[in-house]
Amino acid sequence: MPTERWETRLIHSEARVPAGFRSLATPVHRGSTTLFERAADAHEDWNHERHAYTYGLFGTPTTLELAARLAELEHGSHTFLTPGGQGAISLIWLALAKAGDHVLVSDSVYGPNRALATKVLTRLGVNPEFYPPTIGADIAGLIRPETTLVWCESPGSVTFEVQDVPAIAAAAHARGAVVALDNTWSAGVFFDAFAHGADVTMQALTKYVGGHSDLLLGSVTVRDEALYERIGSTLQFLGMAVSPDDCSLALRGMQTLAVRLRALEASTLRVARWLAERPEVERVLHPALPSCPGHELWLRDFTGSTSVFSIVFAERYAAEKILAFVDALELFEIGYSWGGVTSLAVPQFSIRRSTPAFRRNSIVRLNIGLEATEDLIADLEQAMRVLG
Ligand SMILES: *Cc1c(COP(=O)(O)O)cnc(C)c1O
């Protein structure tokens, strides 16, 4: 072939770099098109154990490394990545629920998960029922012949009830139902979900694995091959692609996860215990404190605690006073999501529950960051003066 024109050289270059580069960072492999050696090899398959790489949507070495490391950390067999924690939740539902199914969902699940169940799953003919998070073995009484899935989140969002996952799983498994668990609070490490009976878990990697409030990513981890096949064959057609750049940030986050979690745990416990002594605070909802529903289950089943918890203000404070308290905070920023390095405060005045457990307009959720604990306590103390 004659020497190609420069336009062609731009696309098919013969420039070469030395081989043998090694570094400590996982390379960022971007790519939609995956190349095959021979025409006969070209096909699409989500399962990288059958065929390593067939299309960018199903993974590049960067995304597959993150997935494999998460499966290792959570003691699962395989992990799938999704564009966010809520994407992980919807992947589990769409893969496992079908028309005619009855599904049991903890009353304190993450709000958008509840909304997905009531607004989308119902449209697809699935019948969700919300059960009290502290139900334990009594869940057996709610399981019907058509119950296929029990969703747990322990501790729950906003109100932090710790669930008896082993008891719930035993009851579900006795009737052939699958147990899904949102394991975001424990970062997938402080609660060994599969050892406690879960079949499939998800995490918002957005929180602790990312750890710096700069990415949105989720994961779904399964116990066995049957769930791997069921979820993978659904994911193939949902088109939930993740960015290798975000995955490389998550891989970097994993390297410091242990030290961040231990520092956050210690600081958060000091702040929570300080708040528990304050007359303005009726109750602290932190799983490691006896005032939290299910605290004894946290002691039994968890190996640590993290940085997000709630406080219930005393009944005498009107909603406006509590909002003024949040506004008076100087170091705590106001915003959703958590697990990063910055302390956050968000009023949680309109939580939806089938069985209301806490007074409306009384809860503020806090996320403790990596600031000096003394400064955070001083900030909370000065802001409490506005309560009067
Ligand atoms: C944040 C969160 C999610 C959703 O994660 P995104 O990445 O924000 O979509 C799911 N579950 C829990 C418990 C969460 O806190």
Q: Residue of the nearest CA to atom 5 in ligand 1?
A: 85
Same fold for the domain at 57-251 and the one at 256-387?
no
CA 110, 116, 122: angle at the middle one, nearest 5?
135
Tell me the average pLDDT across 189-200.
98
What is the Å distance from ligand 1's center to 217 Cα?
9
What is the Å distance from ligand 1's center to 335 Cα?
14
State whether the Cα torsion 76-81-84-89 is positive or negative. Answer: negative
Provide the pLDDT for residue 192.
Answer: 98
Write down the domain spans for the chain. Answer: 57-251, 256-387
Strand, coil or helix: what is 181?
Answer: strand
- Quote the CA–CA distance of 307 and 343 in Å, as a whole number: 9
In this structure, the dihedral spanned by the alpha carbons of residues 376, 216, 189 and 95, taken in order and rounded to 10 degrees, is 140
| End-to-end Cα separation, the chain, in angstroms | 86
State whether the Cα torsion 244-83-181-348 is positive or negative. Answer: positive
What is the Å distance from ligand 1's center to 142 Cα?
27
Q: Is the pLDDT of residue 266 over 70?
A: yes
| Residue 146 and residue 102 in contact, taking contact as beta carbons nearer than 8 Å | yes
| Residue 182 and residue 200 in contact, taking contact as beta carbons nearer than 8 Å | no
Find the residues whose C-beta lies inside 6 A of ligand 1: 84-86, 110, 153, 157, 182, 184, 204, 206-207, 216, 218, 337
| Residue 378 and residue 138 in contact, taking contact as beta carbons nearer than 8 Å | no
Q: Please give the radius of gyration of the chain, using alpha carbons only, rounded to the nearest integer.
A: 23
| Best mutation site among 92, 217, 337 for ligand 1 pocket (most ligand atoms within 8 Å of CB) | 337
Provide the pLDDT for residue 61.
Answer: 96
Residue whose pair of structure tokens reads 């961040």 in the numeric block: 260
Q: Is the pLDDT of residue 347 over 90?
A: yes
Which residues, 6+ apart, have CB-to-CB distance to 8 below 8 Å? none
What is the Å distance from ligand 1's center to 184 Cα?
7
Q: Residue of the nearest CA to atom 6 in ligand 1?
A: 85
What is the Å distance from ligand 1's center to 90 Cα?
11
pLDDT digits (tens, 9 = 90+) for 50-66: 888 999 999 999 999 99
78: left (phi over 0), alpha (psi -120 to 50) or beta: beta
- Quote the CA–CA distance of 249 and 352 in Å, as a whole number: 34
Strand, coil or helix: what is 365?
Answer: strand
Residue whose pair of structure tokens reads 């993740």 in the numeric block: 242
Q: Residue of the nearest CA to atom 8 in ligand 1?
A: 85
Q: Which helix (H) or strand (E) holds 148?
A: strand 147-153
Tell me the average pLDDT across 83-106.
98
What is the Å distance from ligand 1's center to 44 Cα?
30
Q: What backbone torsions phi and psi does residue 13 show, to the nearest 5 degrees? A: -90, 155
Question: What fold is seen in the domain 256-387?
Answer: Aspartate Aminotransferase, domain 1 (3.90.1150)
pLDDT digits (tens, 9 = 90+) for 139-155: 999 999 999 999 999 99
Strand, coil or helix: what is 161?
Answer: coil
CATH number of 57-251: 3.40.640.10
pLDDT digits (tens, 9 = 90+) for 111-134: 999 999 999 999 999 999 999 999
Neighbouring C-beta atoms of residue 287, cutoff 10 Å: 26
DSSP string, 62-120: HHHHHHHHHHHHHT-SEEEEESSHHHHHHHHHHHH--TT-EEEEETTS-HHHHHIIIII
pTM: 0.96
What's the mean per-residue pLDDT of the chain?
A: 96
Closest CA to 80 of 221, 198, 209: 221
Residue whose pair of structure tokens reads 């210690």 in the numeric block: 266
